[in-house]
Amino acid sequence: MRLGRLMKVFVTRRIPPEGRAALAQAADCEMELWDSDEPIPSKELEQRVAGAYGLLCLLSDRVDKKILDAAGANLKVISTLSVGVDHLALDEIKKRGIRVGYTPDVLTDATAELAVSLLLTTCRRLPEAMAEVKNGGWTSWKPLWMCGYGLTQSTVGIMGLGRIGQAIARRLKPFGIQRFLYTGRQPKPQEAAEFQAEFVSASQLAAESDFIVVACSLTPETKGLCNRDFFQKMKKTAVFVNISRQPGGGTHTTTAISRGDVVNQDDLYQALASGQIAAAGLDVTTPEPLPTEHPLLTLKNCVILPHIGSATYKTRNTMSLLAANNLLAGLRGEPMASELKL
């Protein structure tokens, strides 16, 4: 479809090549790009978005009333290169009849791989071991030096047996896990059958698991779920991993909460520092990025990653192409592959 006048679309970052190519090749729009890996300053975004029919943005771009006013009446669609939508003023966007595209359901495999990697890295103390090699701590062989905890014959508790939770369990099963436990809003017998997973309360999961992986959606109900009481119920030898995610479904929430908020980080610090639990691995924190002086970063038994759950070349390219196609569909008045229902 070719229109008489090309529709301006603004892209707030240098996105992966497949999405960029889809927009560049579209016959009915003209792409303008903030050609940087760093976020566009808010004032710059106000200027550059003026007159745009479409906006492709990232989680770090706060699209509020001020940005929407600056864009003007032409703006028909916002496509975000993310599952989360807390950076979008959804009530204001809905009032203006602007459609929203997002990128759910393409991160599952990459995020599950990262969760297993983080679990193994944490329970086998790999960062500590690497540091010992570099700082001269590696001397003679010692029977208990750098010992960690193995997965074989262990109990794994998964908080949230959604797509990602199931993908994590599927990858862990070949390690010889003896028992899977899971929590959630309700039992999922069909999904749990593959792993013979048992539906239990959060308290029981905390008390009986050797390894706990938080893979639930972050919602007002799950905010602060892993707190002092939770950690006190855990085994002293237990390892805790948090990769909690934004909810992905068809409707929106207006509550802005950081992805790390399912965990009370002050309570987690106390549990780790006091030896209440053995170790923790986090791919999500509050805030993000985590300040370099944060107490958790002083602990050897806490592994923190910079929110890289979806960071594979394939996944990020898939996300960028989906975001671009959502944007183009919105411009053309066509159904989007992944539209947020407002």
pLDDT digits (tens, 9 = 90+) for 221-250: 888 999 999 999 999 999 999 998 755 443
Residue 76: per-residue pLDDT? 98
The answer to whether 218 touches 244, Cβ cutoff 8 Å, is yes
Task: For residues 74 and 90, give the distance between their C-alpha atoms in angstroms, rounded to a whole number.
Answer: 17
The catalytic residue positions are 307
Give the whole-number percent of the chain exceeding pLDDT 90. 90
Q: Of the ranges 105-109, 257-261, 278-282, 325-329, which one carries the lowest mean pLDDT score? A: 257-261
pLDDT at 84: 87
- What pLDDT was estimated at residue 258? 56
Phi, psi of 142 (to 5 degrees): -130, 135
Structure tokens at 45: 């975004």
User: Could you count the other beta carbons within 10 Å of the beta carbon of residue 118?
Assistant: 24
Q: Is 166 helix (H, G, I), strand (E, B) or coil?
A: helix
User: What pLDDT does 257 receive?
Assistant: 43
Amino acid at 58: L
Taking residues 26-30, report their average pLDDT.
95
- For residue 199, the model assigns a pLDDT of 98
Query: H or E element: which one contains 278?
Result: none
Q: Is 237 helix (H, G, I), strand (E, B) or coil?
A: coil
The two tokens of residue 133 are 């090699």
Mean pLDDT of 86-106: 96
Mean pLDDT over all residues of the chain? 94
Q: CA 35 to CA 175: how far, in whole Å?
A: 44
Q: What is the C-alpha separation between 216 and 163, in angstroms, rounded? A: 10
Least confident among 155-159, 210-214, 285-289:
285-289
Whether pLDDT at 1 is above 50: no
Q: Which amino acid is at 203?
A: S
Distance of CA 213 to the CA centre of its chain: 14
Q: Which residues contact 142 (CB under 8 A, 6 or more apart)?
A: none
- Whether pLDDT at 57 is above 60: yes
Give the pLDDT confidence score for residue 281 in this predicted structure: 98
The amino acid present at 128, given as its one-letter code, is E
CA distance 185 to 204: 15
d(Cα 235, Cα 277) in Å, to the nearest integer? 6
Tell me which DSSP letter residue 63 carries: B
Cβ atoms of residues 321 and 338 within 8 Å: no
Instruction: Using the predicted structure, report yes or no on whether residue 39 has a pLDDT greater than 50.
Output: yes
Q: Would you say the pTM of this structure is higher than 0.95? A: no
Identity at 286, one-letter amino acid code: T
Q: Which residues contact 297 (CB under 8 A, 6 or more apart)?
A: 290, 304
Q: Please tell me the predicted confidence (pLDDT) of residue 246.
A: 59
Q: Does the pLDDT value for residue 129 go beyond 60? A: yes
CB count, 10 Å around CB of 296?
18
**163, 190 contact by CB (below 8 A):** no
* 254: pLDDT strictly greater than 60: no
Query: Is the Cβ–Cβ distance between 221 and 89 less than 8 Å?
Result: no
